[in-house]
Each structure stands twice: as C-alpha cells, then as structure tokens.
Amino acid sequence: MSSSTTSSNEPEPTDGLKAFGAVLKSFRKRAGYTQESLAPEIGYSAHFIASVEQGRRFPPPRFVDQCEMALDAFGTLRMAANQLSRQRGLASWFRQWARLEREAAALSTYECRLIPGLLQTEAYARTLFVNQLPPLGDEQIEAQLEARVERQLLLTERPNTAYSFILEEHLFLRGMGGHEVTMELIDHVLGLAERRNIEVQIMPVVRKSHAGLHGPIRLLETAEHKWFGYLEGQESGQLVSAPKVVSTLQMRYARMRAQALTFEDSVSLLERMRGAA
C-alpha cells in the first residue's frame, strides 16, 4: 500500500463504524442469531462479526450482502454501509482496491520503489510516514500506521488467499530506516515466506532483461474469478478492469516470475543478507 501515505488521507469517523455495528447487532438479535450461530450462515468467523459490531473492522461488500440475506435487513445494512465512504488512514484513490483485497482469491504484487505495505514492519512503515512530504502530523502518522497494521491482517486471516510478491533486490540494499530496521524487515519477510500461501521472489539488481520496466504492478483475482489490476503514481491510483489491459499486466507479471530468482533462491539470498550483517 505504497501511496496511502499522503497528507490528504482522512480518517474514517469511528462513530460511523460504530453506528453500522449497532445496526448490524440490532438486526442480528432481531433474527434470533448469536455471533456464533450467524458465522456459518454468512461464511465469516464470530470474531470477525464481533469486530464489525464493535466498530473495529470495516465491513467488506460481501459481508454486508451475506448479512442482508441472512438477517432479512430490508436493504438497511447496504444503505448504512454505503455511508462508510472513508476508511481510516487510506488514501482516497486506494480505498476501492483495498475493499477488493478483503475478498481476493489471489493477490500478486511487483514493487520496485519500496517494500509493499502488506510486508512492512511497523518500524519500516513509520520511517516512510515520518519522511513523507509534505510532512504529516503525529495523529496522521498514527492513523496510517493503524491502517497498515489492520490491512496486514489479510495475510493471516485469509490463509486460502494466494499471495505472490516480486521485490527488487535493491529495496533491501537501500537500508531505509537504518541497519536495525532493515535487519528486522528481512527477518519479517523471511517469516512471512514460511507461510504456505505466501511466495516471495527477489528480482536481482543485475538482470539483462526485465519485464517490469513500466513500473509497479498489482493484480487481483476475486472469488468469482474476475481479474483486476491496479496502477499507482505519486499522487494517484488507477483501478484497471479492462480485460485487454489486465491481460497485458498478467503477461508482464508472468514473465517477471520467470526472470526473478526462484522462491528457494530468493529465501537463500535474504538469509545471506541477514547473515552478512
């Protein structure tokens, strides 16, 4: 989530999420469900339902639709969810993509500028936010850190989602935040790479051919097997749904997976970077 680091990020009003949670709780009780009994009906955990009802989680579109059907809510939940147009700590242009991520069956990311938000440590992310220009206030920094940590839950809460990351080697060589921050980052990425659903590949600094010279790429497959792409600039982002463009991005990403080090060799390289310290 690289460019969700601008001063234009407006936090999601806590009262809005709490209000939605209260409406959901009311309809749930009206229908005679507990959080535990509703969970299998809608395909979400009781813990997730509790988090939404307490205003701590943003309700994904599929979650809202499933609750509407299970609770016979007369469209009230959809209307209430539509009022939650802001999300805490996320840039306005990133929010639509962030909503899609919550239900993705597969997510692929190539990054050449900085470590992707899903893989960042708190120290690395804080370094990025502190160095943001124009400067951010303390409250903005904390809001964005909170949003980043919240988004990273995707990696653990969605174990059936396949995550692929292609990262340029120089992202680890740059030393963003200093030596300790970099070493912690490498350890963190190595730890995530141990998960069965996460694959990390490193693109070597020296490479005779490279299919990613057009810049970062994000690709997403929905549960309905529809594909989207996302392209990001310094102060803007573009959600891509046109099949021809998405196909081009898929072609480039597939070529890069062949050009980058294998998963095993990538892990070995990161381990050598860590050991060389």
- Lowest mean per-residue pLDDT among 1-15, 58-72, 96-110: 1-15
What pLDDT, on the 0 to 100 scale, is given for residue 51? 87
What is the pTM (predicted TM-score) of this model?
0.70
8-state DSSP, 58: P
What pLDDT, on the 0 to 100 scale, is given for residue 94? 72
Both tokens assigned to 258? 């062949």
- Lowest mean per-residue pLDDT among 199-203, 217-221, 232-236: 232-236
Mean pLDDT of all residues in 75-84: 84
For residue 61, cis peptide bond before it (omega within 30 degrees of 0): no
In SS3 terms, 223-277 reads as CCCCEEEEEECCCCEEEECCHHHHHHHHHHHHHHHHHCCCHHHHHHHHHHHHHHC
Position 103 pLDDT exceeds 90: no
Q: Comparing C-alpha atoms, which of 221, 241, 235 is closest to residue 92?
A: 235
- Single-letter amino acid code for the residue at 191: G
φ and ψ at residue 25, rounded to 5 degrees: -60, -40
Q: Comparing C-alpha atoms, which of 53, 92, 122, 118 is closest to residue 232?
A: 92
Q: Give the three-class secondary structure for 221.
A: strand
pLDDT confidence band for 82 (50 / 70 / 90): confident
8-state DSSP, 92: G
What pLDDT, on the 0 to 100 scale, is given for residue 97? 85
pLDDT confidence band for 61 (50 / 70 / 90): confident
Place of tokens 């200093």: 178
Mean pLDDT of all residues in 236-251: 93
Position 33 pLDDT exceeds 60: yes
What pLDDT, on the 0 to 100 scale, is given for residue 81? 85
The string of pLDDT tens digits covering residues 256-275 is 999 999 999 999 999 999 98
Position 89 pLDDT exceeds 60: no
Q: How many Å apart are CA 91 and CA 104, to the nearest integer?
A: 20
What pLDDT, on the 0 to 100 scale, is given for residue 1? 39
Q: 63 vs 14, which has greater pLDDT?
A: 63
Both tokens assigned to 263? 């998963």
Q: Give the three-class secondary structure for 142.
A: helix
Tell me what the pLDDT averaged over the chain comes to.
88
